[in-house]
């Protein structure tokens, strides 16, 4: 097809045609439903709230079952996230439900870092999904999506105001997850106090710029109920799995000496509103918002951080391939620069070591020469001494010969004159008996 034809074709307006009879693509929504039902759904709830605020009880009440629970201690050194996944089934719909508890939240003396493990957990789930998406062989169809779809933030029913921990944590989370604030244990606060408390909480959230999840009002079918429910936030809830007989009906309630608080009675608390909004009306919107808003933001930031862009500096479209090539070139250039730097560093180091070695060699040579001179001097002295001693030895030997000659002569004379005087004898025996090398004389 020529370029002009192509242009004309793409510029052509779409025309509405009527069908001659039933074709069958009106079954597409049914096909989608059937496919989704077969595939099953996943829904992940994060519960953030102080230890013992009623998180597990509310989850049990919401899903009308008993999830495994474990009381948290108040002595956790830091907040830790504990996910638990359950397979639930209602009619023919399978739900893979993950409940993540922020264990130890609000128990540390220093709460500055309390939000961090929660943010890290949410990011890790996004990262896992992104890694799966970036794989060559992706299996998103049966991938267990662990991204958090909603964060139920449990507010302590003080009747005063939000704690700074609540504000800081919600602020840190609001761009990452759909937050639904709820006032827990609402049976412990009076009706008028609760009314004021709700207004106070909402004004504090607004003044601190905390974005909570708003039930969507763009779909006509749910716009009305959702906008009414938005005005009821935060929901004040009561949780209980205990059944109490009211009239002739068994209802879930909390029984007190002065009366019974019915969980599903809308004039007692907002539990029904929460269940309606969270599960029956907006569960799919929560899943969608997670994917299109929060995950999209994470993905965009992450890819930008990695250097990927949609446009080049001249605002021209820039494909992933081009970005990859540019990045690759940048990387190779950097690698080459580093290699050159290392090589230069190595050459310098070798030169330095060579100079050091030469200096050491010179020093050693000097030392050797010095020792050699000393040695020669010593040798010369020893030689002189040896000569002196030899001379002395010769002199001694000469004298010794002379003495021996003298002795033999005197012995001969004595044998001829046997009767010699004592004086002569004495003289003979008083001949020198030792020769001193140092003085060069004979001593007695
Ligand atoms: P950890 O997991 O240990 O942090 O506790 P949790 O937040 O899961 O609280 P849990 O549901 O275990 O409830 C703690 C206590 O609060 C239990 O004794 C519950 O019966 C009680 N409780 C739970 N919900 C409510 C409520 O709505 N009102 C009142 N008054 N008590 C509640
Ligand atoms: Mg619990």
pLDDT digits 0-9 by tens, 135-192 = 888 888 788 999 999 999 999 999 888 999 999 999 999 999 999 999 999 999 999 9
- Cβ of 187 closer than 6 Å to ligand 1, yes or no, is yes
Angle in degrees, 0-180, between the axes of helices 164-173 and 191-207, rounded to the nearest 10: 50
Q: Residue 341: left if φ>0, alpha if ψ -120 to 50, beta else—which one?
A: alpha
Best probe residue, ligand 1, of 46, 47, 50, 57 (max atoms within 8 Å of C-beta): 57
Best probe residue, ligand 1, of 47, 52, 259 (max atoms within 8 Å of C-beta): 52
Ligand nearest to the CA of 52: 1
Given this model, what pLDDT does residue 319 score?
72
Question: Which residues, including other chains, have CB under 8 Å from residue 309's CB and lie 6 or more apart?
Answer: 318, 323
- Cβ of 99 closer than 6 Å to ligand 1, yes or no, is no
**Cα gap 341→359, rounded to integer Å:** 27
Residue 2: pLDDT over 60:
no
- Tell me if 55 sits within 8 A of 49, measured CB to CB: yes
In percent, how much of the chain has pLDDT > 90? 57
Q: Which two tokens stand for residue 231?
A: 């005005």
Ligand nearest to the CA of 105: 1
Using the Cα atoms of residue 89, residue 93, residue 94 and residue 96 in order, give the sign of their dihedral: negative
Residue with tokens 């933001």: 297
Mean pLDDT within 120-133: 94
Ligand nearest to the CA of 72: 1
Q: Exposed, middle or buried by CB within 10 Å (0-12, 13-18, 19+), for 439?
A: exposed
Mean pLDDT within 304-310: 78
**Higher pLDDT, residue 317 or 164:** 164
**Cα gap 400→126, rounded to integer Å:** 115
Given this model, what pLDDT does residue 3 score?
53
Cα 56 to averaged position of ligand 1 atoms, centre (Å): 7
- Cβ of 42 closer than 6 Å to ligand 1, yes or no, is no
Q: Exposed, middle or buried by CB within 10 Å (0-12, 13-18, 19+), for 373?
A: exposed
Backbone angles phi, psi at 330, to 5 degrees: -55, -45
**Cα gap 184→168, rounded to integer Å:** 19
Whether the pTM exceeds 0.75: the reply is no
Q: Residue 440: left if φ>0, alpha if ψ -120 to 50, beta else—which one?
A: left
- Using one digit for the tens of pLDDT, what is the confidence trace for 202-256? 999 999 999 999 998 988 888 888 989 898 889 999 999 899 888 888 899 999 9
- Using one digit for the tens of pLDDT, what is the confidence trace for 32-75? 999 888 888 999 999 999 999 999 999 999 999 988 877 777 87
Cα 102 to averaged position of ligand 2 atoms, centre (Å): 9
**Cα gap 1→254, rounded to integer Å:** 75
């Amino acid at each position: 097809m020529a370029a002009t034809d192509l242009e004309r074709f793409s510029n052509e307006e779409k025309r509405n045609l009527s069908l001659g009879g039933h074709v069958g693509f009106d079954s597409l929504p049914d096909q989608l439903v059937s496919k989704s039902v077969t595939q099953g759904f996943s829904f992940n709830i994060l519960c953030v709230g102080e230890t013992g605020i009623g998180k597990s009880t509310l989850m049990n009440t919401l899903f009308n079952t008993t999830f495994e629970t474990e009381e948290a201690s108040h002595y956790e050194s830091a907040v830790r996230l504990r996910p638990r996944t359950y397979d639930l089934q209602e009619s023919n719909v399978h739900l893979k439900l993950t409940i993540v508890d922020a264990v130890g939240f609000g128990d540390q003396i220093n709460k500055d870092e309390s939000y961090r493990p929660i943010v890290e957990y949410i990011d890790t789930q996004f990262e896992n999904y992104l890694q799966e998406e970036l794989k060559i062989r992706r299996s998103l169809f049966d991938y267990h999506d662990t991204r958090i779809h909603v964060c139920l933030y449990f507010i302590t029913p003080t009747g005063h105001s939000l704690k700074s921990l609540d504000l800081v944590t919600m602020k840190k989370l609001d761009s990452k997850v759909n937050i639904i604030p709820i006032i827990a244990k609402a049976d412990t606060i009076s009706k008028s106090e609760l009314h004021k408390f709700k207004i106070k909480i909402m004004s504090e959230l607004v003044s601190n710029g905390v974005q909570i999840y708003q039930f969507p009002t763009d779909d006509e079918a749910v716009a009305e109920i959702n906008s009414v429910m938005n005005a009821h936030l935060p929901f004040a809830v009561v949780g209980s799995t205990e059944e109490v007989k009211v009239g002739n009906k068994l209802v879930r309630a909390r029984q007190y000496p002065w009366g019974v608080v019915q969980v599903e009675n809308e004039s007692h608390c907002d539990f029904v509103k929460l269940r309606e909004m969270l599960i029956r009306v907006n569960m799919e919107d929560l899943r969608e918002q997670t994917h299109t808003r929060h995950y999209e933001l994470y993905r965009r930031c992450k890819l930008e951080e990695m250097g990927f862009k949609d446009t080049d500096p001249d605002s021209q479209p820039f494909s992933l391939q081009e970005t990859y090539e540019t990045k690759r070139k940048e990387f190779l250039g950097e690698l080459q620069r580093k290699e050159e730097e290392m090589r230069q560093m190595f050459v310098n180091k070798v030169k330095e070591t060579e100079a050091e070695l030469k200096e050491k060699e010179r020093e050693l040579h000097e030392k050797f020469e010095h020792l050699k001179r000393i040695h020669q001097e010593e040798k010369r002295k020893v030689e002189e001494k040896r000569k002196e001693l030899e001379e002395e030895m010769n002199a001694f030997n000469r004298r010794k010969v002379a003495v021996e000659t003298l002795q033999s002569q005197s012995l001969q004379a004595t044998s001829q004159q046997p009767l010699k005087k004592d004086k002569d004898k004495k003289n003979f025996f008083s001949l020198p008996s030792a020769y001193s090398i140092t003085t060069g004389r004979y001593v007695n």
